Amino acid sequence: MSDDLAVELIGIEKRFPGVIANHDVNISVTSGTIHAIVGENGAGKSTLMKTLYGMHRPEKGRVIVNGTEQNFKSPSDAIDAGIGMVHQHFMLADNFTVTENIILGAEPTNGVRLDLKAAKRRLTEIATSSGIEVDLDALVADLGVGQRQRVEILKVLYRGAKILILDEPTAVLVPQEVDELFENLKQLVADGATVIFISHKLDEVMAVSDEITVIRAGTTVTTVLPSETDQKQLAEYMVGSELPAGEPRTTEIGDAVRLDVNGVSVGAGGDGGRPAVDDVSFSVHAGEILGVAGVEGNGQFELCQAILGLADATGSVIFDGHDVSSRPARERQDLGLAYIPFDRHTEGLMLDSSLWENLLLTRDNDPELCPHGFVDQAAVRAATVATISRYDVMTPSETVPIYALSGGNQQKLLVGRELDSGPTVLLAAHPTRGVDVGAQSSIWDKLREARDAGLAVLLITADLEELLALSDRIIVMFDGKVNAELSPSDATPELLGTYMTGGAV
């Protein structure tokens, strides 16, 4: 036990039915530093942080905070000990102001009355000292992603947190917002805070961390200084083996236009409101990946819905020479349109159902799996086992409920389900969101293989590394419009970030 340690996790073990999530985990976090935790999906990172935050109670081990051993029974105990956690999925009420969101559950009072003036005074002091500026009177619904994240950080600072846990804090930020976040974190550390953050972006981990701990298969592998390692070595620590090198492209983009979108608008009714998608046109050829860059909320989701036949839209969608503008979603799927959705939980999976039932979810029109309209369970289970093998899905069997898998393994099954359906066009929205570097590399390889075999891919992603690594062309969406088209060889993260936030070059 050391006086200069903010957090010590000693011999932590956490079990769930049939699963050992953490086993003999040991981490020491020095006060006033930024400490990164990296590892594959299912490695136990989030479980460990939830244990530190009082959401889980370990079967074994010790949690020591600022030299005092703790036995947290709930997050409120952790908050009382000066720990705050910013989750990847923000927990904000859109119809409340920034101030109302921050003080919710910790409202200051003057007698029995809510004292908003006192709250704003304190929040202004916190925002000024931390460098995290945001309009306290703004509605959260009107804020961008980066500003929402600032609200979440202010929320934990308002509750007195001196140890901040951030889960994938840069997942949906453009490069300029990432730079601002890192400056904010450095200012917090300079003022005496300690930051622990989980990330899959190893370049960012190397850039901002003072120390890095790698977790693999539920236990700690090593803790290193950024000056003593590199991204390749970190990735190999995470997966336990050398990662394959990406192969250069050896095929040509085909002449055939598989997807042709012409003047598509969504939400352009007579109410005077701004359309979510505003006169968007582009085409995707056979054997091509067209990347779509953009901060979330700029029409990408509605564009996908229009292409899928799930939104009222004007303009035309031509699929492999067929005008499908007025055709229902099922007919478009039957013509060879596949979809990796924005949110696997709400759009792509039935969490309480087995893996084989989830594979069948979009494959019930496959005559090999459902001959004459009847499910051949043996065939579906065999196909699921094959997909599990091809995409390296870590699971006890095809019969377990999919909620039992880590997010990355759920995503690998979903990607495999869509690619193995034999599509002609694939809409791939954030295909590697929330997956580790090993799973990301595997999914990228599968997308490239499918592209090289002639698949047309519309890739929508907020991950600029992914966009640049996979795309043959890139368009940028802002405010429902396409405001730029770039070659990956001409694009840089900074240039893309400028276009994504509405700037001109």
pLDDT tens sequence across 333-351: 999 999 999 888 888 999 9
297 and 259 housed in the same domain: yes
Same-domain status, 233 and 263:
no
Residue 175 lies in a domain: yes
With a cut of 70, say whether residue 246 has pLDDT above it.
no
Residue 221 shares a structural domain with residue 264: no
- Other CB atoms within a 10 A radius of the CB of residue 233 amount to 14
Domain end among 172, 204, 239:
239
Q: Is the pLDDT of residue 270 over 60?
A: no
Phi, psi of 501 (to 5 degrees): -105, 15
Does residue 249 sit within a domain? no
Q: What is the DSSP string of 184-211?
A: HHHHHHHTT-EEEEE-S-HHHHHHH-SE
pLDDT digits (tens, 9 = 90+) for 463-500: 888 898 899 999 999 989 999 999 988 888 888 888 88
Strand order in the sheet with 257-266: 277-285, 257-266, 313-319, 322-323
Average pLDDT of the residues of the chain: 88
Q: Which domain-ending residue is among 389, 407, 422?
A: 422
Are 261 and 222 members of one domain? no
62 and 182 belong to one structural domain: yes
Give me 139's structure tokens.
Answer: 């509605």
How many angstroms separate the CA atoms of 473 and 485, rounded?
Answer: 7
Same domain assignment for residues 83 and 44 = yes
Residues 353 and 301 grouped into a single domain: no
244 belongs to a structural domain:
no
pLDDT in tens, 370-415: 998 899 999 999 999 999 999 989 898 999 999 888 778 899 999 9
Pick from 209, 239, 269: which residue ends a domain? 239
What's the CA gap between 448 and 428, in Å, rounded? 12
Structural domain span for residue 68 = 5-239
Segment 117-121 shows an average pLDDT of: 86
**pLDDT at position 488, please?**
87
pLDDT exceeds 60 at position 269: no
pLDDT in the model for residue 1: 44
User: What is the amino acid identity at position 85?
Assistant: M
Q: Domain for residue 126, yes or no?
A: yes
**Worst-scoring range by mean pLDDT, 242-251, 423-432, 480-489?**
242-251
Q: Residue 372: its pLDDT value, please?
A: 87
Q: Give CA–CA dist 323/335, Å, rounded.
A: 11
Residue 359 falls within a domain, yes or no?
Answer: yes
Residue 278 lies in a domain: yes
pLDDT of residue 245: 54
Whether residue 28 contacts residue 34, with contact meaning beta carbons closer than 8 Å, is answered with no
How far, in Å, are 235, 244, 453, 472 from residue 441 at the CA level?
10, 8, 18, 18
pLDDT of 67 higher than 90: yes
> What local confidence, expressed as pLDDT, does residue 248 receive?
60
* 472's tokens: 């043959």
Residue 359 DSSP SS3: helix
Q: What local confidence, expressed as pLDDT, does residue 243 receive? A: 54
- We report the CATH number of the domain holding residue 439 as 3.40.50.300
β-bridge mates for residue 475, sequence order:
292, 485
Q: Single out the residue of 467, 132, 40 nearest to residue 289, CA to CA.
A: 467
**Which H helix or E strand runs over 25?**
strand 19-30
Percent of the chain whose predicted confidence (pLDDT) is above 70? 94
Residue 56 DSSP SS3: coil
Binning pLDDT at 50, 70 and 90, where does residue 313 land?
very high
Phi–psi pair at 48, nearest 5 degrees: -60, -45
Integer angstrom CA distances of residue 162 from 85, 118, 205, 480: 11, 21, 21, 40
* Predicted TM-score of the model (pTM): 0.68
16-36 tens-digit pLDDT: 877 788 999 999 999 999 999
Residues 225 and 258 in one domain: no
Choice between 333 and 217, residue whose per-residue pLDDT is larger: 333
Q: Are residues 431 and 407 in the same domain?
A: no
Residue 92: its pLDDT value, please? Answer: 86
Residue 245 belongs to some domain of the structure: no
For residues 110 and 14, state if they share a domain. yes
Strand order in the sheet with 83-86: 83-86, 163-167, 194-198, 34-39, 211-216, 219-224
What is the reported pLDDT for 241? 65
User: 271 with 417, same domain?
Assistant: no
How many distinct structural domains can be found in the chain?
3
Q: What is the pLDDT at residue 3?
A: 63
Name the 3-class secondary structure at 336: coil
Give the pLDDT confidence score for residue 466 in this predicted structure. 87
Same domain, 82 and 194: yes
Is residue 247 domain-resident?
A: no
Report the percentage of the chain scoring pLDDT > 90.
Answer: 52
Model confidence at 223: pLDDT above 90: yes
Lowest mean pLDDT among 27-31, 115-119, 149-153, 186-190: 115-119
pLDDT at 504: 62
- The alpha-carbon radius of gyration of the chain (Å, integer) is 24
- Other beta carbons within 10 Å of 189: 18
Alpha-carbon distance 302 to 311, whole Å?
7
How many CA atoms, within 13 angstroms, populate the side-chain half-sphere of residue 365? 15
Give the per-residue pLDDT at 108.
73
Q: What is the mean pLDDT of residues 236-243?
A: 73
Determine the pLDDT at residue 70: 94
**Residue 323: per-residue pLDDT:** 95
Residue 352, burial from CB neighbour count under 10 angstroms (0-12, 13-18, 19+)? exposed
Q: Which of 184-193, 298-307, 334-343, 460-469 has the lowest mean pLDDT?
A: 460-469
Position with higher pLDDT, 252 vs 211 = 211
Hey, what are 233's tokens? Answer: 């070595």
Q: Can you tell me the distance from the alpha carbon of 415 to that of 434, in angstroms, rounded to the nearest whole number?
A: 13
| Helix, strand, coil distribution of the chain in percent, nearest 5 | 35, 25, 40
Residue 428 reports pLDDT greater than 90: yes
pLDDT in tens, 5-19: 999 999 999 988 777
